[in-house]
Chain A
Amino acid sequence: MLDPFFVGTARDKLAATIQQQRTLGFRTSYNDLSHDIQIVFYSPEGLSIQLIDNVEYDEEVFDHDKLLTKQRVHGRYIAILTPAEARWRVRLFQGAPQ
């Protein structure tokens, strides 16, 4: 599920989080509502692009099947994308304070 979109550090961190949640018996659902994306850096050799996404999403946390909380989150994320075989893939994404 992650491989078509994520690579490197971003993929490793997400995969580790999913595995940790499985081990601990809970799961998180992120449902994005809106994105406001700015391209802030396109490296001159063309090998990376950096975006800032002001995103609104609903986050639901379940312990087994019991809904613990549902929150609407306004977040700011920094993402770095690098070219793969036929598309750009997210190499890093990181939440940042608003």
Chain B
Amino acid sequence: MSSRLAVLLSGALVALVPLAHSQSGRISGPKTIAAGSSFSLQSSGSGTGILYIVGPGQVVRKDVQLGSAINFPAGMLYNADHYLIILASNESIESISLDVLPSDKPATLSFLAKPSRLPVNLENGITGAVYVFDAYQNLVTMSLPVSFSLSNPSSPAQTRTVSTHNGAAWTEMNSAAKEGAAKFIANANGISSERVIQQVPGDPCSLRISAHPSGQNIALQTDPIKDCNGNAVPDGTIVTFTESYDGIQSTVDVPVKRGVAQVELPARRGAKISVASGIVMGNEIRWGS
């Protein structure tokens, strides 16, 4: 009886001993983790193995003891991506997949605002687009509200709140009626980014010239030139004076200086003198008739 038991036990031991040496490593762990968070993998089996974590954004290779937990501290795996986790032992190679998700806390905004300079009173003339990133430069894909605000010195701020889709949000704003610098701010969860938009006067709204004799010439001068919102057009804006006489036409382009344009043209009795800037025509003068 005892000899039969010994045979059975020795047989069981023979069966167990090689199992103890060759027990293959299996790996299990979470399907997803947040970027930069601590996590654990559980391995089974015995002996040692090599653990690989492989993704386009990051790789890890680590010698591990099979049959124990494999712990990764916070900040170890931080690039949001698909990862393949491979456990290689002498006997087997096992693999699982892991998705590292971006954090839901914004850390930086990439804010694209255009244009940096535009005429006043332009409806939806300013656009702003935002991409939201976490502390590891991962795009935060969870939907978040982004508030956009455009503030001008002379008018109430315009505000819009837009939810991100796949980490992006955008809006349009009107430029103010008065010239000046506007602050364009995007804010997501307390993280903000600011751009400055320069609002400049629009095209001249009306032109009026007056004339008086100046020796052999006519001295011509515009009234102060303003856009349709009462902003003085910038110095350097080109004003074209045209004199027509006896079938001959001569033109002179003059830049605005200190808000007006002035020029002298030859005084010819019966000449017609007109003024224009861009697509805006001014009044016409007939000299000496």
Residue numbers of A with Cβ under 8 A of B are: 9, 13-14, 16-17, 20-21, 24-26, 28, 30, 40-41, 43-45, 47-48, 50, 52, 59, 61, 63, 68-69, 71, 73, 75, 78, 80, 92-97
- A74 nearest CB neighbor, chain B only: B82
Question: CB within 8 Å of A: which of B69-88?
Answer: 79-82, 84, 86, 88
Q: A13 CA to B10 CA in the complex, in Å?
A: 56
- Is the Cβ of B165 less than 8 Å from the Cβ of A41? yes
Q: Give the segment of B133-141, B218-226, B235-243 that binds chain A.
A: B133-141
Task: Check A94–B112 contact: CB distance below 8 A.
Answer: no
Judged by a CB distance under 8 angstroms, whether B101 is at the interface is yes
Q: Which chain A residues border B170 with CB–CB below 8 Å?
A: 41, 43-44
Smallest CB–CB gap between B125 and chain A, Å? 11
Q: Beyond A17-B58, A26-B59, A45-B127: 15 further Cβ-contacts under 8 Å?
A: A13-B79, A17-B56, A17-B59, A24-B61, A41-B166, A41-B168, A41-B170, A44-B114, A45-B114, A45-B129, A50-B167, A63-B52, A68-B93, A75-B82, A80-B139
CA separation between A44 and B139, bound complex, in Å? 19
CA distance A48 to B166 in the complex (A): 14
A96–B167 CA distance with the chains assembled, in angstroms = 12
Is the C-beta of B55 less than 8 angstroms from some C-beta in chain A? yes
- B-chain residues with CB within 8 Å of residue A61 when the two chains form the complex: 52, 54, 84, 86
The reply to whether the CB of B283 lies closer than 8 angstroms to some CB of chain A is no
Residue of A nearest to B102 (CB): A94
Question: Once the chains bind, are B129 and A94 in contact (CB under 8 Å)?
Answer: no
Among B59, B113, B137, contact of A20 (Cβ-Cβ < 8 Å): B59
Nearest opposing residue in chain A for B127, CB measure: A44
Q: A78 vs B170: C-alpha distance in the bound complex, in angstroms? A: 18
CB pair A97–B32 under 8 Å, yes or no, is: yes
The answer to whether A95 touches B80, judged by C-beta atoms less than 8 angstroms apart, is: yes
| Residues in chain B near residue A97, CB distance under 8 A | 32, 99, 101
Q: Once the chains are docked, how many angstroms separate the CA of A3 from the CA of B168? A: 25
Please indicate the chain B residues that have their CB under 8 angstroms from the CB of A93 in the complex.
Answer: 56
A96 cross-chain contacts in B, Cβ below 8 A: 80, 99, 101, 141
Q: Roughly how many angstroms separate A54 CA and B80 CA in the complex, as a whole number?
A: 16
Report the nearest A residue to B101, measured CB to CB. Answer: A97
Residues of chain B with a CB closer than 8 A to A50's CB: 166-168
Pairs across A and B, CB under 8 Å, 18 listed: A20-B58, A24-B59, A26-B54, A26-B61, A40-B166, A41-B170, A43-B168, A44-B127, A45-B112, A45-B114, A47-B129, A59-B54, A78-B166, A93-B56, A94-B79, A94-B141, A95-B99, A96-B80
